[in-house]
Amino acid sequence: MTTTVAPRDAARSQDDPVQAFCGELRRFLAVRVDSARIDAEHALPAGLLTELAELGVFGVSIPEAWGGSELGLSGACAVVESLARYDRAVATTVGLHLGLGTRGLVAFADDAQRERWLPDLASGKRLGAFATTEPGAGSDLSRLATRARLDQATGRLRVDGQKIYVTNGGLAQTYTVAVSTEGLGGAASGQNLLVLERDDGLKIGAEEVKLGLRGSSTTSLYLDELDIPMDRVVGVPGAGHRDISQVLAFGRTAMAAGCNGTAWAAIDLATAHVAERKQFGKTLAAQPVIRLQLADMAASLFAMRAMVAATGDVEHDDAELERRSVAAKVYCSETDWTICDTSLQLHGGSGYIEETGAPLLLRDARITRIFEGANDVLASRMGALELIRPGGHATTGTEADEISLITHEVRTNWQARDGLKVLRDPVRLHKLGRLAILREVAVATVAYAGPHPSPRTAALRDHALSRLLQAAEAAARAVAPIATVDAIVDPLFDSGVA
């Protein structure tokens, strides 16, 4: 298949170690990975993870001191995008390890913990998993029911609870598990990450049967009154809440990069199809409406890559990482979905047939708007961040400045009228968050194109910016007719939509 939308800087691949590594990785994946087969067999091919370990993929986000290649968040994103270009289940398995699965240990563990666990995680001898979600705690992680209690008599922890939907649950050996703490660090209650091993007594549930990502392992974890030594607590005992937030910010960025890989695959698939298929006496590729759709897809992918690159740049700035990671996660997952849907549409009826590969891309993409933080929850969080620490004014001489101004005006008008009450209005927070996300993407897009873009890069930038401005204008105009909501919704729970 032709490669039409390689990363903007692929031409520099010989000089850039990350791009050189990703080029080698993609050549391997192109011959080794059959995504239709992975989907059909609900499993990765035997030996694939070992081969990826030999290539060095499992250590890219781990410091050299602990056996990794220390390519940081940007390096992890580049690797995850390349993996997702060929298969999203492989990208999810590795990406979870590079992001959520190891970040807690890299960023917050002490040296003894790093020495003990990171070398095997970096080499791929052990695979990492991360467990926060529980039956009663999904979007709201303040209410974790899995508890670690300090046993005063033994000085050890009793850990009890259940985690669900754990990516790599059935494959991992090392699990970073978020728990509520009782009595740790002298605090009556708090949260921490614990590092647990499979043979600590973890019980692994059955594999979930999923809409997509079928080659990726997803299981429950049962922690039944485990007796765990204190040296498994990561970070300051009882004070790990912020650590968990920061791990999530790192992980959702790597996940966003996977969306870029899937979108890349969807564009390549669509391009190959429309170049061949003829209707009305010419190829679909020659039809103006279809050309516009292809331009939208390619320009959107440019903006997605820009947002992920901008997020990778602030890996060490916690506040900015949170803001940009939310923008990257929401924008990339939603745009990936749109691109996969357009790709399927351009295939016509054949797009609905599994054999083309278009349905698999769409199925794999669907979960990305839900996991690592449901998008509407994150958009509201972005709105709150915008009220607390407003993003600056863009001064780029492009549409990014207009989007920045729209966001600023919406916020300042509300604040002038209602002050801090806006913080307690979820609908307005959500709308403001959506605008702030578009501003972040627009600013990142301008920066990614650079000051002296080639004509093609300038076209991608300009097309993306005009679409982002359209979206911002529509979002700003949208009014929520709150007065009618209760009158419509309340009866749904009594009589349905009859």
Ligand X SMILES: Cc1cc2nc3c(=O)[nH]c(=O)nc-3n(C[C@H](O)[C@H](O)[C@H](O)COP(=O)(O)OP(=O)(O)OC[C@H]3O[C@@H](n4cnc5c(N)ncnc54)[C@H](O)[C@@H]3O)c2cc1C
What residue ranges bind ligand X (CB under 6 A)? 96, 130-133, 138-139, 165-167, 210, 213, 218, 367, 370-374, 376-377, 380
Q: Of 167 and 343, which has the nearer Cβ to ligand X?
A: 167
Q: Of 74 and 168, which has the nearer Cβ to ligand X?
A: 168
The CA–CA distances, whole Å, from 249 to 325, 329, 493 equal: 6, 9, 36
Radius of gyration of the chain (CA): 23
Least gap, CB of 372 to ligand X (angstroms): 6
Query: Which residue's Cβ has the minimum distance to ligand X?
Result: 138
Least gap, CB of 341 to ligand X (angstroms): 18
Least gap, CB of 392 to ligand X (angstroms): 27
Q: What's the CA gap between 324 and 328, in Å, rounded?
A: 6
Q: Of 196 and 442, which has the nearer Cβ to ligand X?
A: 196
Pairing of strands 218-228, 233-234: unpaired
Pairing of strands 147-151, 278-279: unpaired
| Residue 28 CB contacts under 8 Å (≥ 6 apart), including other chains | 51, 55
Nearest Cα to Cα of residue 308 among 64, 488, 82:
82
Q: Of 78 and 378, which has the nearer Cβ to ligand X?
A: 378
Q: Of 74 and 167, which has the nearer Cβ to ligand X?
A: 167
Q: What's the CA gap between 441 and 398, in Å, rounded?
A: 13
Q: Which residue has the tokens 């607590």?
A: 233
Q: Which long-range contacts (CB under 8 A, 24 or more apart) does 108-115 make?
A: 108/193, 108/234, 108/235, 108/240, 108/243, 108/246, 108/247, 109/195, 109/234, 109/235, 112/231, 113/195, 113/231, 113/234, 114/65, 114/66, 115/66
Least gap, CB of 371 to ligand X (angstroms): 4
Q: Of 133 and 343, which has the nearer Cβ to ligand X?
A: 133
Q: Of 150 and 387, which has the nearer Cβ to ligand X?
A: 387
* Count of CB atoms situated within 10 Å of the CB of 52: 23
Least gap, CB of 363 to ligand X (angstroms): 11
Q: Of 69 and 218, which has the nearer Cβ to ligand X?
A: 218
Q: What's the CA gap between 453 and 306, in Å, rounded?
A: 14
Q: What's the CA gap between 176 and 98, in Å, rounded?
A: 13
Least gap, CB of 431 to ligand X (angstroms): 12
**Cα maximum dimension of the chain:** 83
Q: Of 133 and 293, which has the nearer Cβ to ligand X?
A: 133
Least gap, CB of 32 to ligand X (angstroms): 23
Q: Of 113 and 380, which has the nearer Cβ to ligand X?
A: 380
| Residue 294 CB contacts under 8 Å (≥ 6 apart), including other chains | 267, 270, 271, 274, 285
Least gap, CB of 271 to ligand X (angstroms): 29
| Residue 75 CB contacts under 8 Å (≥ 6 apart), including other chains | 18, 21, 60, 61, 69
The CA–CA distances, whole Å, from 68 to 61, 78, 247, 354 equal: 7, 16, 18, 38
Output the CA angle 59-62-64, nearest 5 degrees.
Answer: 95
HEC sequence for 354-386: HHHCHHHHHHHHHHHHCCCCCHHHHHHHHHHHH
Q: Of 458 and 482, which has the nearer Cβ to ligand X?
A: 482
Nearest Cα to Cα of residue 43 among 215, 236, 241:
215
Least gap, CB of 130 to ligand X (angstroms): 5
Q: Of 108 and 165, which has the nearer Cβ to ligand X?
A: 165
* Joined tokens for residue 400: 């990014």
Least gap, CB of 80 to ligand X (angstroms): 14
Least gap, CB of 146 to ligand X (angstroms): 11
Q: Number of H helices and number of E strands within the chain?
A: 16, 10
Least gap, CB of 181 to ligand X (angstroms): 17
